[in-house]
Each structure stands twice: as C-alpha cells, then as structure tokens.
Structure 1
Amino acid sequence: MTAFILVPGMFTDTHVWRETAERLTAEGDEVHAVALSGTGGPRSAAADTVDLETHIADVLAVIDSVGATPGREIVLVGHDYGIHPVLGAADRRAERVGRIVYLDSGLPQDGVPALAAVPDPALREELAERAGTDGAHGVLPAPARDAWQRWGSTEGVPEAALDRLTASATPQPLRTLLQPLRLTGAAASLPLTGVLCSAGGSSIEMAQRGVDFGEPTLQVFTGPQVTFFELPTGHWPMLSLPAELAEVLRRAAAGEGHHLVAPGGAQRPAHLRPFLLDVPDIPRERTGHTDLYLTAEEGPRPAVVFVHGGPVSAEARPTPRDWPALTGYARLAAGQGVVGVTLDHRLHDVAGYPLAAEDIAATLELVRADPRVDGQRIALWFLSGGGLLMADWLRQPPSWLRCVAASYPVLAPLPVLGPVDPRFRPADVVAKAGALPLVITRVGRERPEIAATVEEFLTASRDCGAAVEVIDVPNAHHGFETIDLTQESRDAVHRGMRAVLAHLEV
C-alpha cells in the first residue's frame, strides 16, 4: 500500500484533490490531502503570521500521523506552490519519504522564495513592492473566474469544475510566498517524479532539451531515481483529468516513467542536429573566444554578431559557437555579403550575465577594429537566454549599431533559474532605444513562461513606439533551426536575415 500525501497549490485547498483521491482510495491506496494553514477563508489576523515554515509544519504533521507500517511508502505530491512545503518537509523527514512528485510545479532552490515561481512578471514585481512597504502582511486575493489563466493554463477544466474552483478558492498569505525555502540537502537522493502538463507548455521533450543545453537546475533530474510523465492538459490535472492523474501517481509510486538522458548519451541532442538550411561551407577564422566567417565580397563589409543563449555549463562540449545553429547563421550571413561572427561568452549560470556582457563588448571591439569589417555597420542577433543581454545595447545604442535582432528570446529573468542582475531587463530600457530597429522572431510553440517575457517586452515596445518588426513562426519550437525542418521555419530564417541585412543596407 502507498500513502499519498497531496499538497495543494496557491488559492486551493483539499477540495481540488477530491476526484483523484477517490480513484486512489478505490485501488486500496491511503490518501491524505493536506489543509494548509491560513487558506481556509477571508483575511484574519492569523493570516499575517502564516509563512512557508507554517505550511512545512502542516505537511510534517501529516507525515508524522502516518503510521510506520512495514511495506507502506509515503509519496509526497506537491502541486504548484505546494512543492515548496513538500520539499521543506521532505528535507526534515527524508527517512520517512519514499518519493517526491513535482506536479506541474517549479523547481524550487535553497534560499529562493516561492515568489520567484509566480508566472506573471508584473505581479511578481507588485508583490515584491508590497513586501517592501508593508512587511508582507495580509493575503493575496484569490483570482476571479476569468483570471485563473494568469496562474496557469485552464485547458481541459470543465466549466462546472472551474466554477467550483472559483467558489472554493482561498486567499494566499503573502508571507508564504516571500519566505525563502531552506534546504539542507538531506532529501537530495530521494526518488523523484515530474508530472508535466503539456497544454501549459511543459513537456518531457523540452525538459530533455534543457538537459542537453546544460541547464544547471535540470541536471539533477537525469539520475536513475528520477522519472517523468506528461499529461495532455492544463495546470489543474486533478480537475481536468482526475482518473489519468491517479493512474500516473500510482505508476510514479511504482518507479515507472520516462528517464531523461544525461549529456553524452547515444542520441544526438536537438541543438547539435544539422542546421535547417544548406549554407556555404565558409571556414572560420578564430581569435580568442570569437570566430569570424568572412564574405567573398571586397572592401570593408558590415557584420552580424550572433550571441548564443544559456546558461550553458562551462563544461559543455562543443561550446556554443560550434553549435550548428550558430555556425549556420554565421555562414548564411557570410554567403549574403556580410561578416558573420560567433562567440563563446561566460553565461554559465544566471550570475554570469555581467561576464557575458563583457565578452560581447570585447568581441565587438575586436570585430570593429578588423580592417575587413565596416565598423559603422554592425548588427547584434541574440538567441534564447541571450535575449536579456539586449538590455545593454537598448539602453544607450551607439551610432554604429544598426539593428538588434532576437530569435525565440528570453526577455525577462525566468524565476526558476534564480535572481538576475536587474540591469538585464530589456523591457525596462526599450524606451531608450530611440529609432534603433528591432527584429524579433517569435515561435508559436514557445514555453509559456518564455512567451510571457516576449509579450511583456512587446507591450513595452508598443507603449514607447519602438521600431519593432515581429516575425511569427506559428508551428515552430524554441531552437527551431535544428528541430523543425519545415518550409515555414526555413522561410522564417530567410525573413529574419533579410530584415537585418536591410538595416545594414546590404
């Protein structure tokens, strides 16, 4: 027999687990849905004192109430915010816990508050500001019926269930979001299962790609004790697919599920597959951390500098400037009469953004000083997580910078990766870009948390009248140049290159 301890997310209480719990108990399993303190009604004086430690204590109380029967394994399930008290409790009762299930949740880190996982960037800032002025007293009101999408996809949730969710929703004590999670590492070796909800943008494929790219927070999930499942629904599978969720939880308890492949496996990672276009076989000229792909055209030529994303582990091989997408773009540019430039920069973790910015500045100095380059006609093209590095060039664009482009960019810090220097927020400085042309390639199958950063940036751009051209690729994924080998994707690469070259007057 398995004892499932189910911990709800923000604004929800034990009621959300009702149908899933019924299906688990019908199969003979023991189920305990945890009622978290301070979430059972309108604001009260008690809500001002409830914090993350209070909720960890709530989960510990349930763990301690489950008898230590031989053969009975405790499985802790944390949905959404609920993973924070789950991890805190598992850290203190590691010997009692058989498995932890991350149910469409973030990946909390030691020392990081749950506020970092709030999906709406504007709301995160608003709550942080409130905390700074009133000491985090009070509660965050529960969403209205039409506002649940702000907290996660409601796809698949029946109308009646959405009505019940709204009617029974409870406010969230602010202190639970603002108190940092503290972990000693005692539970680090426990078996884990991630249940991803694909309608919200999460998928096993995307998790694997994150591992392939060397995302530090995902490497721990490649161990043999870690499994994954995927459900074709939104953020509340206990309401949209309760029977399917119950089955997945039983299979997770049995150790079943998909295993992510650690870097170096037999399968070629997506980012190391061939570029989607046939490009000229132009050799590179390497100087330090910078590669130049020179055009056959005579005279000083404009240059396009391609900036990879990240964070990318310092041990990743090949390094980003040798990835097919980067070399493909650089060779494509050189074949069309400009100098293509790639570089390796030091974005190995989120603290590396200032170092990466230094590396880009050094490359630009090197490139502009080369007699084969027209130093007055330069474009910067950022990819993925490199998008945050745009901010430095929007804040005070030099006259020689003729265009800034970005493909499937991350344009605001992603909470799951941890805090980023506030200097790197493109939306905050786009108003200072003046008439600098911007070209944004946006993919339709983007991860929701990344798509939200692009929309935030585009909204800020519209508000200040920035010169932005958006190239939409509706059926493409993040990093589409090596995985979506379609005519739509090929056309998008050509359109992006034509737009950038036009601003270089090529």
Structure 2
Amino acid sequence: MDTGAEAAFVLVPEAHTGDWVWDRVAAVLRRAGTRVLCATLSKGNSSDLETDIAEVIRQVDAAGERVVVVGHGYGLLPALGAADRRQDRVVRVVHLDAAGLPEDGDTALDVLPALPRPANGATEVPPPTREEWQRMGSTEGLTHAVLDKLAARALPQPAATLTQPLRLSERAARIPRTGILCPADGSTIDRLRWMASLGAPRLSLLTAPGNTFLEVPTGHWPMLSEPDLLAKALRQAAAGEGESLALPADHVPDHLQPFAVEVPERPRERGEHVDLYLPDDQRPRPAVLFVHGGPLPAGIRPTPRDWPTFIGYGAIAAQLGAVGVTLDHSLHAPDDLARAAEDVSAAVDLLRAHPRVDGDRVALWFFSGGSPMAAPWLSAPPPWLRCLAANYPLLEPIPGHGTDGDRFRPAAAVRGAGDLPVVLTRVGLEDPVLDATVERFLVAAEECGAEVEVVAAPHCRHGFETVDHTDEARLVIREAMRRVLGHLGA
C-alpha cells in the first residue's frame, strides 16, 4: 500500500544557500494543499553536520506523522541523518540531484566532490563567486537575474558540516528512496541503471525494492529553474512513482555483452594492472594503449581490462601487427583524475620499455569518461606519440563533478596539439551532455587548426562495441583501428 501520497514535505537546501531557494516550489506545493516546511541550516562557525541534522529533525517533528524529506546536494546528508532518527515519521527520502550515496561514516566531501574544500584550519568555506557556481553543478536554466541572486544571497559554509562523518543505523537502508535526477548535470536514469549493473556493493541501494527514480530536464537548481516541474516530481516521489532500477536475475550488463567483431582469441602477457596482446611478428612493433572510461566503483569484477570491449580491441591490434595494451586505472571518483592519469603514464613507461614494443611509435586511445586524461598529452605531445584516439568521449568535465581548471579539459588542451593526429569516433545516439563536449572540442580544434579525423557512427550508441551488434558498429570499429594503426605505420 502506498503511504507517501498524503505526506508533508521537509525541504533541505544545498550548501551555501538557505530556505529561500525553495520559495517557488513550496508555493506550488502549498497551492495543491500540501504541507511544506523548509529547513534553515545554521551558518555559524561552530555548526557541524549534527547541528543541521537537529534542525531537520525539528522540522520533521513539526510537519506531522507522515513526512517526505527532500535533500538537495549537501542537504541530503542532514536529510538522511534526520530520517534515520525519525523512521516512525519519515516515509521516504528524496535525493535531489545529489551525486553520492552517503553511508555510515561518510562525510559530505567523500560523496560530493564538487563541494569546495575548506582550507587547512579554516572554520568556514567562502561561498562560490558568480563564475564559480558552475563548478558545484550545472546552472542550465538559470537566468542571469536568478544566478545573480544565488551569488548575492550565498553564505559561507561551516567547514565542520562538510568534514563531520554522517552516522546512520543499519535500518537506514530500509527507508524508501526516490532519486530526482537532473540530466543537464550529468545524471540520467539510463546512466544509473548502467552503474547499478556493475554490481558494486555500494550501488546495491539503487536497485532495492521500493526505490524509484525520476528526471527533471534541467541543471542542478531545479527549484530555481523549473519549480513547477520539480513540484510535480516531488508529488510523484511522495506517491512512490518513478522507474525502478531492479535488474532481473539473469541480466547480462551491456558492458559484458559480446564484442561486435568476432576476433580469434589471443594470449595475453598479464601484468599487475596492464595486459599486452602481442602480435606474431617477434620484432619490436608499435603499440596502442586503450584507456577505459569512468569513474567506476572500486572493487567491481571483472575489471575493465577483462571486459569484452578491451579484450576485443587488444586482440584486433595484435592481429593487425601492433601491440595492444589494456590497463585498469584508478578513476573511481571524479577527483581521482590526477591519480588515474599517473596510472596511464606508468603504463606508457612500461609498454615503451617492453622489448616487443617500438617505443617511438605509440598511440593512446581513450574511451568515454576516461577521455579527460587525454588533455595533458594533447597540450604537449611527446615525439613518440604518433596518434591520439577517443571513442564517445567526454571532452570537458561535467559541471558539478569536482574537476576544475584546464589540466583535464581536452577542449582547451587541443590548442597545443600541433600536428598530432586525433581520431575521434562520434556516435549519433549519444547522451546530449556528452555530445555537447564533443562539439565544443571540434569547434576549438577547428579554430586552432588541429588535425582531427571524425569517424562518424550515426546510428550507434555509447559503448556501441557491445550494445550495437550491427554492420555499422563493426565497420566503425575496423575504420577507427585502420586509421590509428595507419598513423603508427603498422
């Protein structure tokens, strides 16, 4: 029986903001006859996460016997803390565009990498400037006037609210949840369904019975950009509506489906984190390093170098006379890019030193969310790097995913590419957020005269190597490989 439809709402705001951000949504809900209370989180230097949890508990107690608690961004942590301690009243928790899944012992900084970090010894974090709000999350849909208001009314955030661990009981996982996702901020139901299919224990909550997901087509601030749509989604969430991510017992995830091209099995030279597929020719041969996407949860099995896509590409490279190299890198969260980039550099050093590799003829081939790591190689290509390739890439960091500056921004780094050939496989059925980064990259490349060869795949999807068993997919795989190996002289 649905118990959420008649519940009151307690709305908990994002960091640096206040209850005023909910004004328009609360007005819509109240006109529909719904009871709404808004938490006013403390901004005093002595405040911490427990202070905010206590405030949300106070609002829950005042709201009535049946309450839906809505946490936006950082606000999800105090929302969960309060719901756990008032499970007799809280019938559902709504995760509103909150990227992480907080567990017992997590801090806000553990699960929300976009939040600004406090300086050493600081008791508060200054609010973002008008130009910095994009880093916390997409500002798509906000007018200049609304963005000005957001910046003008923002307050410093007490550092302890971000660094104090959240404490949850074991029963907290049984509280029904609804995720309201904002696609312009990089979150979609399809993407979450794929993440859930990876099987990581931390993501098991996504598929738990009773948990649902909805989308509001806007950026990180739906209460300011789409208040009517958000109010509708909140009422749907309270009624238990939305899509389930539950997977059938015999489900085979997309990334573990067979490779689109039939390739004879080849032996691998297995290393701790790197595999080499060696050609029959015993002389030193050029090499292609395939860099998988991410972020991927730590501990998933099989790891990417044992996925059919990378086994397939490694085997094709070896079959055609090059050394195919795959690796597992440590891009487990958006702010792991620097560490994962070190893994890629270490793999490059290893393969170039291998006696079966011609270290002066190497290509780097990036995939999906691993593509930001192409930026340092684009900005200053070494002479041995003969080609850089990317499949369905993310070529600018998604707003709100914790990556700042140009170090991992290929769309900015391409200015330094010089005459380095770039082979870019662009799928036609791409997530619009990702494809927009490809378009900006191509515009930047054209402006600076960079050499970019686009392999068009108009009817293919992201991850087409295992999700599209079509003639087009097979043709695209072979064409991209032909071009990359051509630049290596293989």
TM bin (shorter chain) = 0.7 to 0.9
Q: Does the residue aligned with 1:256 lie in a helix, a strand or coil?
A: coil
Opposite residue 35 of structure 2, the aligned amino acid is: E
> Once the 2 structures are TM-superposed, how far is the Cα of residue 207 of structure 1 from its aligned partner?
0.5
Q: 2:291 aligns with which of 307, 310, 315?
A: 307
> Once the 2 structures are TM-superposed, how far is the Cα of residue 142 of structure 1 from its aligned partner?
5.6
> Once the 2 structures are TM-superposed, how far is the Cα of residue 461 of structure 1 from its aligned partner?
9.3
Opposite residue 249 of structure 1, the aligned amino acid is: L
1:284 aligns with 2:261: no
- Contact conserved, 1:357 with 1:389, CA < 8 A, in 2? no
Rounded to whole Å, the distance in 2 between the matches of 1:429 and 1:194 is 35
Rounded to whole Å, the distance in 1 between the matches of 2:154 and 2:48 is 10
Q: Which residue of 1 aligns with 2:3?
A: none
> Once the 2 structures are TM-superposed, how far is the Cα of residue 100 of structure 1 from its aligned partner?
1.1
**RMSD of the alignment, in Å?**
5.1
Q: Which residue of 1 aligns with 2:178?
A: 193
TM-score by length of 2: 0.72
Shift in CA distance, 342/183, structure 1 to aligned 2, threshold 3 Å: same
Q: Does the residue aligned with 2:163 lie in a helix, a strand or coil?
A: coil
1:107 aligns with 2:100: yes
Rounded to whole Å, the distance in 2 between the matches of 1:346 and 1:174 is 33
1:341 aligns with 2:338: no
Opposite residue 163 of structure 2, the aligned amino acid is: P
Opposite residue 75 of structure 1, the aligned amino acid is: V
- Contact conserved, 2:183 with 2:219, CA < 8 A, in 1? yes
Write the mapping of 1:19-418 to structure 2, written as runs, cut at 5 A: 20-25=25-30, 28-37=33-42, 55-67=52-64, 72-90=65-83, 92-94=85-87, 96-107=89-100, 109=102, 110-113=106-109, 116-118=112-114, 128=117, 131=119, 136=124, 139-141=127-129, 151-155=137-141, 170-176=152-158, 179-186=162-169, 187-214=172-199, 218-238=203-223, 242-261=227-246, 265-276=249-260, 278-279=261-262, 281-289=263-271, 291-293=275-277, 295=279, 300-310=284-294, 312=296, 316-344=300-328, 361=346, 365=350, 369-371=354-356, 373-387=357-371, 400-409=384-393
> Once the 2 structures are TM-superposed, how far is the Cα of residue 98 of structure 1 from its aligned partner?
2.5
Rounded to whole Å, the distance in 2 between the matches of 1:169 and 1:6 is 20
Opposite residue 307 of structure 2, the aligned amino acid is: W
> Once the 2 structures are TM-superposed, how far is the Cα of residue 208 of structure 1 from its aligned partner?
0.9
Rounded to whole Å, the distance in 2 between the matches of 1:355 and 1:247 is 40
Q: Which residue of 2 aligns with 1:41?
A: none
Rounded to whole Å, the distance in 2 between the matches of 1:201 and 1:346 is 21
Rounded to whole Å, the distance in 2 between the matches of 1:330 and 1:295 is 10
Structure 2 residues not aligned, in runs of 5+: 1-5
> Once the 2 structures are TM-superposed, how far is the Cα of residue 166 of structure 1 from its aligned partner?
5.2
Q: Using the aligned pairs only, state the percent identity.
A: 42
TM-score by length of 1: 0.71
> Once the 2 structures are TM-superposed, how far is the Cα of residue 194 of structure 1 from its aligned partner?
0.3
Rounded to whole Å, the distance in 2 between the matches of 1:175 and 1:460 is 37
Opposite residue 5 of structure 1, the aligned amino acid is: V
Shift in CA distance, 184/471, structure 1 to aligned 2, threshold 3 Å: farther
Opposite residue 62 of structure 1, the aligned amino acid is: Q
Q: Does the residue aligned with 1:179 lie in a helix, a strand or coil?
A: helix
Structure 1 residues not aligned, in runs of 5+: 39-45, 119-123
Rounded to whole Å, the distance in 2 between the matches of 1:49 and 1:457 is 45
Opposite residue 152 of structure 1, the aligned amino acid is: S
Q: Which residue of 2 aligns with 1:43?
A: none
Rounded to whole Å, the distance in 2 between the matches of 1:84 and 1:480 is 37
Q: Deviations over 1:246-295 (max 9, x none)?
A: 44323323433322235x8333322123445x45x232112324555455
> Once the 2 structures are TM-superposed, how far is the Cα of residue 298 of structure 1 from its aligned partner?
8.3
Shift in CA distance, 377/434, structure 1 to aligned 2, threshold 3 Å: same
Rounded to whole Å, the distance in 2 between the matches of 1:176 and 1:117 is 17
Q: Does the residue aligned with 1:374 lie in a helix, a strand or coil?
A: strand
- Contact conserved, 1:304 with 1:339, CA < 8 A, in 2? yes
Opposite residue 189 of structure 2, the aligned amino acid is: I
- Contact conserved, 2:136 with 2:402, CA < 8 A, in 1? no
Rounded to whole Å, the distance in 1 between the matches of 2:223 and 2:255 is 34
Shift in CA distance, 107/168, structure 1 to aligned 2, threshold 3 Å: closer
